[in-house]
Amino acid sequence: MILVTGGAGFIGSNFVLDWLAGSQEAVLNLDKLTYAGNRANLAALQGDARHVFVQGDVGDSALVGRLLAEHQPRAIVHFAAESHVDRSIHGAGDFIDTNIVGTFRLLEAARAYWGGLPEKEKADFRFLHVSTDEVYGSLAPGAPAFTEQHVYEPNSPYSASKAASDHLVRAWHHTHGLPVLTTNCSNNYGPYHFPEKLIPLMITNALAGKPLPVYGDGMQVRDWLYVGDHCSAIRRVLEAGRPGQTYNVGGWNEQPNIEIVHTICTLLDEMRPREGGPSYRTQIAHVKDRPGHDRRYAIDARKIERELGWRPAETFETGIRKTVQWYLNHPDWVAQVQSGAYRDWVATQYGAAAGA
């Protein structure tokens, strides 16, 4: 068995579904079920004895200790985190509590559990920490992409909290010997993505006839990674990564935000055209840029390819088409997650341009 934290969130639920689709090894899934955690993401696993779900907080040391003692996982894959930059700007407290304090308490519980294992199980145990490229800060146009040796320069409360958690994981390896692995990924997209993030927000707003809010000039550049590729990278790192090492995971797909929005509109024009109406591009509305908005992220993923033989299977063209089709096929999921509280938050964040 493996323990997955945050396994009802976007990337976590995709990982759990992917893992159980390709393995008989069970998953103990610990998720607090905050606004972005959704049991509906895991509906396909209902009745599957290989999936054990526990609602709880990674910062609850007593709970985590009991779960480790009872289920004896051979690895922990740590997704649980507050992850939205905009929310961290409005209120950083949850990010400090979950990303820093929660990771610290999880590391301590893992260290106590690992320390008591028999030698063979102790040697095989792994703690895989899932992080972000945002810890590296912002790249100038034309600057080399982030490597694993890049200096940390976080610019938002979110990225600062993730940087702190990365440092804790590293310290628990070098000080205590805990066999850790860290992955720093680029922007993920795909099924079950909560519609506060760029790609699902554009898809759902377009279909609802609402404005498509684009920050500033829309020329912020990101490296886009299909979530299924991210899952395969994590599996590979867990399988063969060297303890204490960091692996950057990217999609080799740098594009500015405005081009992402244009691509989504073009796909929707093809796949769900507005009857007798203009292109979805007419709904684009530029809004005031957010404070401290990083202009460019880019991942150099050569290390994971060189050492572990991993490379993404999807191009952006194939991945974004799959993603748009998924949202077209799952309107009930979208309606379920877009609660009144979510609509209020979108209105606060984007103002009248959100059309909430």
Catalytic residue among 134, 166, 223, 294: 134
Q: How many CB atoms lie within 10 A of CB 18?
A: 17
- CA angle at 156 for the pair 101 and 225, rounded to the nearest 5°: 90
DSSP 211-253: -EEEETTS--EEEEEEHHHHHHHHHHHHHHPPTT-EEEE--S-
CB 152 within 8 A of CB 303: no
> What are residue 214's phi and psi, to 5 degrees?
-120, 125
Q: How far apart are CA 270 and CA 278, in angstroms?
A: 12
End-to-end Cα distance, the chain: 43
| DSSP structural state of residue 54 | E
**Cα 17 to the center of its chain, rounded Å:** 15
Q: How far apart are CA 128 and CA 245, in angstroms?
A: 10
Catalytic residue flag (residue 133): yes
CB 45 within 8 A of CB 12: no
Q: How far apart are CA 257 and CA 217, in angstroms?
A: 9
Q: How many CB atoms lie within 10 A of CB 207?
A: 17
Catalytic residue flag (residue 158): yes
Q: How far apart are CA 74 and CA 72, in angstroms?
A: 7
Catalytic residue among 86, 133, 223, 229: 133
SS3 72: coil
Catalytic residue among 158, 189, 247, 297: 158
Q: Which of 11, 190, 34, 155 has the alpha carbon at shortest distance from 198?
A: 190
User: Catalytic positions, please?
Assistant: 133-134, 158
